[in-house]
Amino acid sequence: MTRADIVVLVLALALLPMLYVKFWHHGAAGDEVRIMVDGKPWQVVSLKHDRRVTVHGALGDSVLEIKHGAVRFIASPCPSKYCIHSGWLHDGGEFTACLPNRVSIEVIGARARYDAINF
Amino acid sequence: MSSVRTSLTTALVATVLTVALSACGPRPDPVHKEQILAMGTMVNITLWGVDNDVAQKAFTAANQDFNYMQTAYHPWKPGPMGRTNQLLALDAWFSANPSVLPLIKRAKALYHASDGLFNPAIGRLIGLWGFHSDTLPKGPPPSKAAIERLVAQHPTMDDIQIKGIRVRSTNPAVQLDTGGFAKGYAVDRVIDHLRRLGVSNAIVDAGGDLRAIGSHGGEPWHIGIRDPSAPGILAEVDVKGDESVFTSGVYERFYMYKGKRYHHIIDPRTGYPARGTTSATVIGSDGATSDAAATALLIAGPKLWHRVAESMGIKYAMLVASDGTVYMNPAMAKRMHFEHKPPKVVLSAPL
């Protein structure tokens, strides 16, 4: 085995864990959030850049915060604030909604870790 | 020569492994998803393994079905159930709208199976607490005297008599509020419809309560069960074939008044919001039974839940008590993959 063989082997083996984590690891963090207004797609926003998004819904403005690859509601004109209590959504398939304001968000990734969330 | 062979072998192994793994990259998952606002909640429909045409037909059918049932089963707005409630108060026979008759019959059976804990005849009590409104009540809670008066009238599903399409109530206090299981019943009807359209793999999820049929490309559907007391997921459960996962929780609809919390699941025995349990989760066959059972088990609480689950034919149930203790039957425990170990788990006898 030459030195070049060893280099190739080491590189290939180093690549394996990366590929495994990227493609096989279940429940990978989502890349984007799909924002729906009134049941229709409104915008798909990347979770890579920290920012705030204001969504105009049926009752008023819902404000989403995107930070460190996760998203949450931080303000919404609903009485129960259930959307805000849902907290950070991070994994593909995680979903929450402000029903009175008709705004919903879903984290999208490859295959989502969960096909549905029961509550 | 041997060095060349080793090099070739090395290169081959590395190539095969790399290609094999990268071939499993994130190809688009062949799922179709749709959201519908109906039954006072967000309905999410997921289909797997159908083409675009079938998916669109399925979504249109589901949308129409949910909208129809939302109007038909609404307890206090004008519509078939609203009208039924007006007529039930008259103490006379009347012809019920065919859309609500199967629902009432089913509710009677579930009332019996649950030992009266699932009691959709207490619509007046639920209204008295202020939960017959699209917005949450602000309080104050109703007076003790008003609650006791309604409880003393003891409205039950037994007070409703059915002969063919003729219906009457022998107790004028009976008002139907099928909020405890209409969602499950509607999910069942939509699943039936999807199957007729050629869909074999689907989840119909009405605001967190769902029925799943088939599989996700041969793999089970992964369902996350949300933690009732903290943000995030409490546990994961896999379902395959045809199963419903329903949870009733005191956090779904509630209001605060002078620092006290009043939620929407009213115990028909006391007339007050059920105490002692935060959530009850049931995995069952059909949506209607699972929905009613989740409500009944929450009301039953840690002492009675096992008996009620048994009489309702439930095979998998979990209760999260107010102190965080998790009660489950052993078969349920086997299926629940907890994200974090619960503070205390109490296993019951098998169901």
Measured CA distances, A14 to A103, B10, B13 (Å): 43, 14, 14
Q: How far apart are CA B215 and CA B218, in angstroms?
A: 5
Q: For position B7, what pLDDT does the model report?
A: 65
pLDDT tens digit string along B47-63? 999 998 999 999 999 99
The pLDDT tens digits of the residues spanning A52-74 come to: 999 999 999 999 999 999 999 99
Question: Looking at beta carbons, which residues of chain B come within 8 Å of A102?
Answer: 37
Give me the residue label for tokens 């109490």: B346
Burial B88-119 (b: 16+ CB within 10 A, else e): beeeeebebbebbbebbebbbebbebbebbbb
Contacts of A94 in chain B (CB under 8 A): 224
Burial label, B240 (beta-carbon count in 10 A; 0-12, 13-18, 19+) = middle
A81 touches chain B (CB under 8 A): no
Interatomic CA distance for residues B305 and B96, integer angstroms: 34
- Per-residue pLDDT, A78: 86
Q: A17 — contact with chain B (CB < 8 Å)?
A: no
How many CB pairs (< 8 A) connect A and B?
122
Instruction: Report the distance separating Cα B277 and Cα B97, nearest Å.
Output: 36
Distance between B187 CA and the closest CA of chain A, angstroms: 14
User: Hey, are the CB atoms on B21 and A97 less than 8 Å from each other?
Assistant: no
Cβ count within 10 A of residue B133: 9
Q: What is the pLDDT of residue A26?
A: 47
* Residue given tokens 């707005």 in the structure block: B77
Using a CB-CB cut-off of 8 Å, the residues of chain B touching A97 are 42
Q: What is the biggest distance separating any 2 CA atoms in chain A, rounded to whole angstroms?
A: 70
User: Which of A10-14, B190-194, B205-209, B326-330 shows the lowest per-residue confidence on average (mean pLDDT)?
Assistant: A10-14
Question: Could you read off the pLDDT of B260-310 as tens digits, one per residue?
Answer: 999 999 999 999 999 999 999 999 999 999 999 999 999 999 999 999 999
φ and ψ at A9, to 5 degrees? -60, -45
Nearest chain A residue to B44 by CA distance is A116
> Which one has a higher pLDDT value, B283 or A2?
B283
What token pair was written down for B73? 């089963």
Q: Is A10 on the interface with B (CB under 8 A)?
A: no
Tokens of B290: 């699972």
Residues of A in contact with B253 (CB under 8 A): 80
Which of the four pLDDT bands, split at 50, 70 and 90, describes residue B11? low
Q: What is the mean pLDDT of residues B101-109?
A: 97
Cross-chain residue pair A86–B18, CB shorter than 8 Å: no
Question: Which chain B positions have a beta carbon within 8 Å of A98's beta carbon?
Answer: none
- Average pLDDT of the residues of chain B: 91
Which one, of B122, B230, B245, lies nearest residue B180 by Cα? B122
Residue with tokens 């909020």: B179
> What is the reported pLDDT for B6?
65
Q: State the complex-level ipTM.
A: 0.82
pLDDT tops 90 at residue B159:
yes
In chain B, which residues have their Cβ closer than 8 Å to the Cβ of A9?
A: 10, 14
**Cβ atoms A36, A104 nearer than 8 A:** yes
Residue numbers in A near B15 (CB within 8 A): 12
pLDDT of residue B224: 93
Q: Is the pLDDT of residue A87 over 80?
A: yes
- Size of chain B in residues: 351
| Distance between A20 CA and the closest CA of chain B, angstroms | 7
Please tell me the number of Cα atoms within 13 Å of B5 on its side-chain side: 2
The more confident residue out of B2 and A105 is A105
> B198-211: per-residue pLDDT in tens?
999 999 999 889 99
What does the pLDDT read at residue A45?
95
pLDDT digits (tens, 9 = 90+) for B160-215: 999 999 999 999 999 999 988 999 999 999 999 999 999 999 999 998 899 999 99
The per-residue pLDDT for range B220-271, each reduced to its tens digit, is 999 999 888 877 789 999 999 999 999 999 988 889 999 999 999 999 999 9
Q: What span, in angstroms and rounded, lies between the C-alpha atoms of B228 and B278?
A: 7
Task: Tell me how close the Cα of B96 comes to any Cα of chain A, in angstroms.
Answer: 32
> DSSP alpha helices (H): ranges in chain B?
2-22, 52-73, 80-88, 101-113, 123-128, 144-153, 182-196, 287-311, 330-335
- Interacting residues of A2 by C-beta distance below 8 A, sequence separation 6+: B3, B7
Q: Calculate how close chain B gets to A1, using CA atoms only, in Å.
A: 5
Position B184, amino acid = G
pLDDT, position B29: 60
Q: Which among A1, A36, A38 is the nearest to B10, CB-wise? A: A1
pLDDT class of B219 with cuts at 50, 70, 90: very high
Alpha-carbon gap: A3 to the closest alpha carbon of chain B (Å): 10
Q: Cα distance from B204 to chain A (closest Cα, Å)?
A: 9
φ, ψ (nearest 5 deg) of residue B324: 95, -10
Q: Side chain identity at B204, as an amino acid letter?
A: V
Residue B27 pLDDT more than 60?
A: no
Residue B14 contacts residue A12 (beta carbons within 8 Å): yes
Residue position matching structure tokens 């559907």? B221
